[in-house]
Amino acid sequence: MNSKDKEALGIKIVEMIKTIYDPEIPVDVYELGLIYDVFVNEDMDVKVLMTLTSPNCPVAETLPVEVEEKIKTIKEVRNAEVEITFDPTWTQDMMSEEAKLELGFL
């Protein structure tokens, strides 16, 4: 897989992640800043490093699974894994301008 293919797949993955919304906030998890990194290896395995708005988040069990399952629906992806981290801790500063505008923070 060349770097152009990897980049195209990365864009597809981000587009897929943007279809997943935090059930309590009308903004997708990408714009909320919950996705810290997306890695794609040569075997088309995807690893996503993400966080939650808090460790006690009511969707802590389901949201990472939803991200994993949606990414696995992309035909080029062989496997997907989501790793949750709280380092660094999520803050409202991590939200995109679009998310801040949507939520009335701007």
Task: Select the CATH number that applies to the domain covering 3-102 from these four: 1.20.120.420, 3.40.1480.10, 3.10.150.10, 3.30.300.130.
Answer: 3.30.300.130
Q: What is the pLDDT of residues 9-29, one digit of tens each?
A: 999 999 999 999 988 888 999
Average pLDDT, the chain: 92
pLDDT score of 22? 84
Residue 40, C-beta contacts closer than 8 angstroms, at least 6 positions apart? 6, 9, 10, 13, 46
* pTM for the structure as a whole: 0.90
Beta bridge partners of 47: 39, 81
pLDDT score of 21? 93
